[in-house]
A = this chain, B = another copy of it.
Amino acid sequence: MDTVISEISDDCFECLFKTTCNQSISQDDFSFFFQSTVQQNYKRGEIILKQGMKTNHLIYLLKGIVKFNYEDENGKNLILTISNAPTILGLANILNEDVNIFSIIAIEDCKGCLIDLNKLKLLAMNDRFFMLNILKMSTGLFRNSILNFISLAHKQVNGRVADILLYLSKNIYLSNTFVLSLSRQEFAEFAGCSKENIIHTLRKFDADGIITISGKNIEIIDMERLQKVSKSG
């Protein structure tokens, strides 16, 4: 299921290096860094980082789509955001020594590289530009989460469902036509409402000619109107 990479694979040169630190770390540092890297596969539904646990690694997500899931004391779930490869998971834990405040769970089959957090910290402490880049990513993530929440916090379900469809189309599937990786229940946990409400709302959008929906297949056919629904709430 998982494979230890004793040598640096070609993938690695495309990954952390490219997306975050660019020219800022040396080839030697890079080798040291990736000697302990472990590649791992996750099936849909598998937990990549578990809420309430401490972790000592980041994950560079090479492939797949994940949800950031918060489970409350009553067992109710809330999806904070959806993210897709390539990205780095677990940045929230770089500065805070606390346990994870949410789980990260695969909603499509995923492939990721485990990165030793202590080694990364060591490297960051010796290279302030590298540190700055890593931390920019970390706060950027939080910033996006907050913007995400703002858009959901004071709209009614129509507007929230529209927002989610727009988000998925623009940021995750990069197309007006896509196969939803979320169940209706999960969609509801993202929108913060009941699954019946999601079903009704999606049907209404379909009836109104804004989207075409057939099971998990969704096509946005009237983007302009969808954006209007998003704005009007």
Chain A residues at the B interface, C-beta cutoff of 8 Å? 70, 72-74, 76, 78, 80, 92, 95-96, 101, 125, 128, 131-132, 135-136, 138-140, 142-143, 145-147, 149-150, 152-154, 192, 231-233
Contact A96 B143, beta carbon cutoff 8 Å:
yes
Contact B150 A78, beta carbon cutoff 8 Å:
yes
A sample of 19 more A-B contacts (CB under 8 A), given A142-B145, A152-B153, is A70-B150, A72-B150, A72-B154, A73-B231, A78-B153, A80-B146, A80-B150, A92-B139, A95-B135, A96-B140, A96-B143, A125-B128, A128-B128, A128-B131, A138-B139, A142-B142, A142-B143, A142-B146, A149-B149
Contact B143 A149, beta carbon cutoff 8 Å:
no
A42 CA to B121 CA, complexed, in Å = 40
A232 CA to B72 CA, complexed, in Å = 11
A125 CA to B139 CA, complexed, in Å = 17
Name which residue of chain B comes closest to A150, CB basis: B70
Contact B142 A149, beta carbon cutoff 8 Å:
no
A154 CB contacts on chain B under 8 angstroms: 72, 76, 78, 192
A149 CB contacts on chain B under 8 angstroms: 146, 149, 153
Contact A132 B70, beta carbon cutoff 8 Å:
no
A147 CA to B99 CA, complexed, in Å = 13
CB of A30, distance to nearest CB on chain B (Å) = 20
A142 CB contacts on chain B under 8 angstroms: 139, 142-143, 145-146
A140 CB contacts on chain B under 8 angstroms: 95-96
Q: List 17 A-B contacts (CB under 8 A).
A: A70-B150, A72-B154, A74-B232, A74-B233, A78-B154, A92-B139, A95-B132, A95-B135, A96-B139, A125-B128, A135-B139, A138-B139, A139-B139, A142-B145, A149-B149, A152-B153, A153-B153
